[in-house]
Amino acid sequence: MPREPSGELTLPARVAVGLRRTANWLQLVRFGLVGASGFVVNLAVYTLALPVVDYRVAASLAFVIALANNFGWNRHWTFRAADGHAGFQAVRFLAVSLAAFAVNLMILQLLVDGIDLPEIPAQVVAVLAATPVNFVGNKLWSFRL
């Protein structure tokens, strides 16, 4: 495996090693299942809020409620990081989630205002597009052990 002068593996080598670990794939599956539950929560709140508020406000409300759901499940089940300090993990989880939400909101606005896609399908696409940002950030920073 290629190494840095410090003896550590290079990023491509670390990725190659990580891709061969079954535990990482199982963790990705758990993250996907938690994400699916959060997605259902997100879409339900978004759909219920749409008749009352602007789609951006509805997306924000949906984000906050799904965030609480996902933090608990990811902390205890996906990343099994219950030994870590919950407060630090929550702040990091929030930071990663806000970054992913920024990606989500930009894509949502582009789809709704830019190409006139209906709001609910646009939210589905936007959430799916932001998911990789969320997984990588949480795995490598929020819940790293």
Q: What pTM value is reported for the model?
A: 0.70
CA atoms within 13 A on the CB side of 106: 8
Tokens coding 58: 């509805």
- Give the pLDDT confidence of 106-116 residue by residue, as tens digits: 999 999 999 99
The count of other CB atoms within 10 Å of the CB of residue 122 is 22
Strand partners for 3? 9
**pLDDT grade, residue 121 (50/70/90)?**
very high
32 pLDDT above the threshold of 60: yes
- DSSP state at residue 8: P
65 pLDDT above the threshold of 90: yes
Nearest one of 43, 34, 61 to 127, comparing CA atoms:
43
Average of per-residue pLDDT values in the chain = 87
Cα Dmax for the chain: 58
Q: 81-85, 99-103, 115-119 — which is least confidently predicted?
A: 81-85
